[in-house]
Structure formats: C-alpha cells, structure tokens
Amino acid sequence: MLQAHRVQRPRGFTLIELLVVVSIIALLISILLPSMKSAREQGKRIKCQANMHQINSALFAYILDYDALPVFYSKEPNGCICGWCTWSYGGWIGTNTYWDNVSSGCFRVPANKRPLTVYMNKGRVAPAKKKDGKLWEDSGQPVFECPSDRKSGQYLYIDPHAGTDQAFSSYKDVGTSYHMNFYWWDQTHLASGSDWDGDGQREPTPGTCPSETIPGCGQQTNWPCRFRQGLNIWKRHTLRDSSRFVTLVEEPFDLGINAETQEMGFHRRFSRHVMAFLDGHVSYLTADTRNRFGPEWTVVDESMEAP
C-alpha cells in the first residue's frame, strides 16, 4: 500500500516581517548617508585647500620675481583704466557673458591677461577667441576651481539674495573660485583719523597717493600708487601678523564682505570658508563677514576657535 507524502513548502515572509526589514534598512541608510555625504565633502574641501595652497605659493613667487601684486588693470577701448576686481589676478574668462555689458566688458578678463595665470603657465596661455562677437575661450584653469563651487554671487553682489539664477558657479561666472582679498587694504585707507582697531587711539593718516596720468589716455588716477602702497603693506606684514593676514578667500567670503552678511560656505557650513594666509598656510575657518570695516571685522585663527 502506497503512503502519500505531503510536500512541505517553505514558509514565506509575512507582511509584518517585510515591513520590519524595510524599516531597519531605511534606518541604517538614514544613519550612514549623512556620514557618506560628509566624507565626500571633506574630500572636496581637501582638494580645494590643495588648490588654494598651490595658487598662494605662486602668488608669493610672483611678488618675489616682479616686486608687484599680480593685478590686471582693465582698460576701456579708449585706453583709460575702468577698474580692477578681486578675480582678475588669475583664472580664466569664464562663461558668463553678463560681464561683456558691464563697463565696456572690462571685468571679463581672459586668461592671457591675468598675471598669475600667465605666470603659472610659464607664459604659454593662448589669447581669447571671438565667438558671436564675444570673447570666448575653452581652455579653463582647473587649479582655480573648487570642487564644491556651486553658485556665484558676483554678478548679483549689489543685491545677492534677490536673484534666482544659479546657472553659474564662481569658476564659470568670473573664472575662479578663489578671490584675492583686498578688504584689509580698504580698511587701511579708511583708517585716517579714526580708531578702527578699538584701542582708544586714532590711527595715523596713511600716506597719500598722488594722481598719475595714464599714457595715451590723459586719465588722472591714483590707482597705480595705491597698488604700490598695497604691496608695501604686504611686505610689512610678512614681518608681523603674517599668520593673520588673509591673501585668498573662497567666493562666498567675498560675497559676504560685499553684502556685509554671513554666507553659506562652499562646503555646506555657515560662515566657514577656506582661506590662505601670508605665512603660506591654508585653513578652513570661521569668519564674521557682517562688518566690512572696523574692529568687528574678524578672521578667527584655528587656535582661537572653540573646540
């Protein structure tokens, strides 16, 4: 007599068990994802600091070789100086043609006109081309790009929080993620007869700069003298306070100083920015950019930060 055997089928998961497993996986992802993002951002910040260190070193070498700051004086078609900016020292022309329509395009500076770019490339920088009647180049200068550079506030700096166009990073907008810091210089020139450092003493009047005539233009300006005076300020600070003298900053710092606000840094931390100093070190620091002049303008050194 044959005996029937009932086949035992494996039992599947119940709905409750599946929901528990899914919940555990979701919990693990929520725990691990922020740390993964943080690790990726830390890697980008390290790359950003390495870029700025390389540029800062080239900046010192340029000053030693030429005894001048690497600043390009933009000129109008008639040969008169129309301005200078914190980005014309190095980088490339960028892709934002907005600058073609500002002051005869004098702030849209191609790579072969930016002194530190030419210096770092040993003079081998091709001139910009013409495309649809506009200056254009496709070479780029990767060392001037921060991997975390997401949006630029430069062309909205008059009211940087009113615009919604985030199509340009600072690198694509003005050709560099890193801007030369000139705000110490403004502060020095505004110090005449005032107590800007809060020590109870009025500051001595800085040396006055006479106007000079621009050859072939007839324009009278004191900018050449002011840049020579600025170079002297750099030289004096190499002997004192060089670890506190800021040379290069990330673009959000420059935006914050212009608008006298605090800004989210490239690396997703509020009021924290990568900055380079006159003694050669580069750090990721907290900076208060709400007060452009006076004793409230601060750059916090690592040793003074709260743990």
Residue 34 pLDDT exceeds 80: no
Residue 204 pLDDT exceeds 90: no
Band (pLDDT 50/70/90 cuts) for residue 145 is: very high
pLDDT at 195: 54
pLDDT at 150: 83
Residue 1 pLDDT exceeds 80: no
Query: How far is it, in rounded angstroms, from Cα 249 to Cα 76?
Result: 28
The answer to whether residue 33 sits within a structural domain is no
Return phi, psi of residue 13, to 5°. Answer: -75, 145
Mean per-residue pLDDT over the chain, rounded? 78
Band (pLDDT 50/70/90 cuts) for residue 120 is: very high
Sign (positive/negative) of CA torsion 70, 75, 81, 85? negative
Q: What domain count does the chain have?
A: 1
Band (pLDDT 50/70/90 cuts) for residue 307 is: very low
Helical segments of 158-242, H only: 170-174, 183-190, 223-237
The answer to whether residue 19 sits within a structural domain is no
The answer to whether residue 257 sits within a structural domain is yes
Least confident of 77-86, 189-198, 236-245, 248-257: 189-198
Least confident of 40-44, 159-163, 234-238, 258-262: 159-163
Among candidate residues 118, 31, 24, 33, the one with its CA nearest the CA of residue 70 = 118
- Taking residues 139-161, report their average pLDDT: 79
Least confident of 44-58, 185-199, 240-254, 272-286: 185-199
Residue 167 pLDDT exceeds 80: no
- Taking residues 179-188, report their average pLDDT: 73
Residue 155 pLDDT exceeds 80: no
Q: What is the pLDDT of residues 291-304, one digit of tens each?
A: 765 555 565 443 33
Of residues 244 and 2, the one with the higher pLDDT is 244
Band (pLDDT 50/70/90 cuts) for residue 305 is: very low
The answer to whether residue 15 sits within a structural domain is no
The answer to whether residue 37 sits within a structural domain is no
Number of helical H runs and strand E runs in the chain = 6, 11
The answer to whether residue 233 sits within a structural domain is yes
Residue 263: partners with Cβ closer than 8 Å, 6 or more residues away: 153, 252, 253, 255, 256, 270, 271, 289
Among candidate residues 127, 103, 101, the one with its CA nearest the CA of residue 114 = 127
- Taking residues 222-251, report their average pLDDT: 81
Query: How far is it, in rounded angstroms, from Cα 206 to Cα 143?
Result: 36
Q: What is the CA radius of gyration of the chain?
A: 26
Is residue 76 within 8 Å of residue 169, measured between CB atoms? no
Band (pLDDT 50/70/90 cuts) for residue 106 is: confident
Q: What is the pLDDT of residues 46-99, one digit of tens each?
A: 999 999 999 999 999 999 999 988 988 777 767 777 778 899 999 999 988 888
Residue ranges making up the domain that contains 242: 51-304
The answer to whether residue 112 sits within a structural domain is yes
Least confident of 23-27, 99-103, 104-108, 193-197: 193-197
The answer to whether residue 145 sits within a structural domain is yes
Q: What is the pLDDT of residues 217-230, one digit of tens each?
A: 777 877 777 777 77
